[in-house]
Homo-oligomer: A and B are copies of this chain.
């Protein structure tokens, strides 16, 4: 190590040839806020020289190209890609993303610390630099039953680890504001080692936002309104502008910040959740950057939003820019306004070219415990019956789906009652939704209704169901729901579409019921088929299974369903209501 460092200084001085020199490239200098043309000299994984002529063991012609720092996704839940780090890196790296800050919140809710440690072990072997935040809210709320709990005493040994850069999004806003002792212990554990506390505070403002910030969080990625992001920025937060596969907030939020003429040094572009299909079709950050630049962000500043800014925020030593002494994670593009990626270097090695991965990525052997996580209570068709004392009709709360948003509406609807059961109204697109505990801890099942899936028949089901990842089902018929549940239990989890008692399409996610060792191609093909089938049943949603997976997430407004029941703005509420 000392020998390597000395050798790098010698190479910088020109005493020995550098392993690689990229010649005559336009270098995007995020720190200086400009572009300068020259050479980049790399030795033993590090940028040892710039803007000087060096002898090289290998040369790369950069003429006509731009060199950008490798992109850093400052907030992502890997589990949402359904891929392992191995497969995700094959997909992400050719698109220029070379570092991730991952919150392993999903696997933590299913498998606890052992799940996080499995991901950390896998991450160590892939050509992506993976940093972690320590999940702060496992379970996310007391309004659901998760597979594991992580209290402050369990997080402490995690937070001190070198690859852990902070406490993950503090979704328990009420706990923070009202000084829940356990929340304060977690924040204190991060602060003690000078690490960040990430926030999660959708629509929070005014004194409540001040109190939340005072409790610790210094970032937020949940702004959906421009004035919301502006208030957070003005009060001192770092604003992660989310443009992922589910939530797309860039147009509004970035647009608003541009209108307000703010400094962008504390803004990042993050994905939060990324589908493999989405990356395959639209790239990772290329389209996002291109659009940000179109909207009016200076190109160098736009690049900084996915490199220097997250590196600065999380104190990622040695990452985030093309500068002497930094890691040689370099993206070569053929333009700077319309970002199109030609070659990608990770730690000085060319690992991707023209969208194709060149490097071999070793696959990791996961613990068998991760494959045995779907443990349902005994189920029959009648488990899915929604009982009532009402006659003829009744009025119920209905979850209203909003496309491209985690937020739902809280609707009210009048539904028919037959034989003591509240029935769905397929014609009005009001379907049955069930959340079945799947971690073998209780027999709880939550039942309700949802509008927006548009299914004219059939049932869809998922063991990906934020944040406790119970089994969620939406459909019209109880028998299809039972078949869907049984199928997912038999394959260790995943997505399924069932009609008339038959499994029509499915995708196995055998790792914690969230992820699979299958390739992104297989996952994409499986999802494509599921989407095709579900679209054929009338579903208007572009990502119906991702939308389905957010139906159970109580920290997000407004109406959600967990295995415990309906939750509205952090409280359990009744299904039936007295008025519309």
Asked if B207 and A14 make an inter-chain contact with CB atoms under 8 angstroms apart, the answer reads yes
Contact of A52 among B2, B48, B176, B210 (CB under 8 A): B210
Interface-centre pick from A36, A41, A231, A236 (highest chain B CB count, 10 A)? A236
Asked if B236 and A9 make an inter-chain contact with CB atoms under 8 angstroms apart, the answer reads no
Asked if B215 and A9 make an inter-chain contact with CB atoms under 8 angstroms apart, the answer reads yes
Check A359 for interface membership: any CB of B closer than 8 A.
no
Check A213 for interface membership: any CB of B closer than 8 A.
yes
User: Contacts A31-B263, A262-B34 given: A235-B50 contact, CB under 8 Å?
Assistant: yes
Check A58 for interface membership: any CB of B closer than 8 A.
no
Which stretch (A97-105, A319-327, A385-393, A445-453) binds chain B?
Answer: A319-327
Asked if B231 and A51 make an inter-chain contact with CB atoms under 8 angstroms apart, the answer reads yes
Asked if A31 and B266 make an inter-chain contact with CB atoms under 8 angstroms apart, the answer reads yes
CA distance A176 to B8 in the complex (A): 12
Check A491 for interface membership: any CB of B closer than 8 A.
no
CA distance A209 to B323 in the complex (A): 12
Check A194 for interface membership: any CB of B closer than 8 A.
yes
Check A379 for interface membership: any CB of B closer than 8 A.
no
Question: When each residue 410-433 of chain A gets 1 if its CB lies under 8 Å from chain B and 0 otherwise, what string results?
Answer: 000000000000000000000000
Copies of the protein in its oligomer: 2
Could you say which residues of chain B place their CB within 8 Å of the CB of A263? Answer: 31-34, 300-301
Nearest CB of chain B from residue A114's CB, rounded to whole Å = 28
Contact of A13 among B48, B208, B218 (CB under 8 A): B208
Check A265 for interface membership: any CB of B closer than 8 A.
yes
Check A201 for interface membership: any CB of B closer than 8 A.
no
User: Contacts A206-B52, A210-B324, A236-B323 given: A34-B265 contact, CB under 8 Å?
Assistant: no
Asked if B266 and A32 make an inter-chain contact with CB atoms under 8 angstroms apart, the answer reads yes
Asked if A211 and B323 make an inter-chain contact with CB atoms under 8 angstroms apart, the answer reads no
Main secondary structure of the interface of A (DSSP, over half): mixed
Could you say which residues of chain B place their CB within 8 Å of the CB of A191? Answer: 317
Asked if A179 and B50 make an inter-chain contact with CB atoms under 8 angstroms apart, the answer reads no
Asked if B323 and A207 make an inter-chain contact with CB atoms under 8 angstroms apart, the answer reads no
Check A254 for interface membership: any CB of B closer than 8 A.
no
Q: Give the size of the chain A interface in residues (CB under 8 angstroms).
A: 65
Nearest CB of chain B from residue A278's CB, rounded to whole Å = 31
CA distance A213 to B50 in the complex (A): 11
Could you say which residues of chain B place their CB within 8 Å of the CB of A179? Answer: 6, 9-10
CA distance A207 to B55 in the complex (A): 12
Contact of A236 among B260, B266, B324 (CB under 8 A): B324
Nearest CB of chain B from residue A160's CB, rounded to whole Å = 13
Check A527 for interface membership: any CB of B closer than 8 A.
no
CA distance A315 to B265 in the complex (A): 16
CB-defined A-B contacts under 8 Å, sample of 18: A6-B179, A6-B184, A9-B211, A10-B179, A12-B213, A13-B208, A13-B210, A31-B233, A31-B266, A32-B266, A33-B262, A48-B210, A49-B214, A52-B206, A213-B325, A216-B325, A235-B324, A236-B321
User: What 9 A-B pairs are tightest by C-beta distance, nearest first?
Assistant: A236-B323, A33-B263, A13-B211, A12-B211, A213-B324, A49-B210, A12-B214, A12-B210, A32-B233
A interface with B by C-beta (< 8 Å): 2, 5-6, 8-10, 12-14, 29, 31-34, 36, 41, 46, 48-52, 54, 176-177, 179, 184, 188, 191, 194, 206-211, 213-216, 218, 230-231, 233-236, 238, 260-263, 265-266, 300-301, 312, 315, 317, 321-326
Known: A9-B177, A210-B324, A263-B300. 9 other contacts (CB 8 A): A14-B207, A31-B236, A31-B263, A32-B230, A51-B235, A194-B317, A213-B324, A213-B325, A312-B312
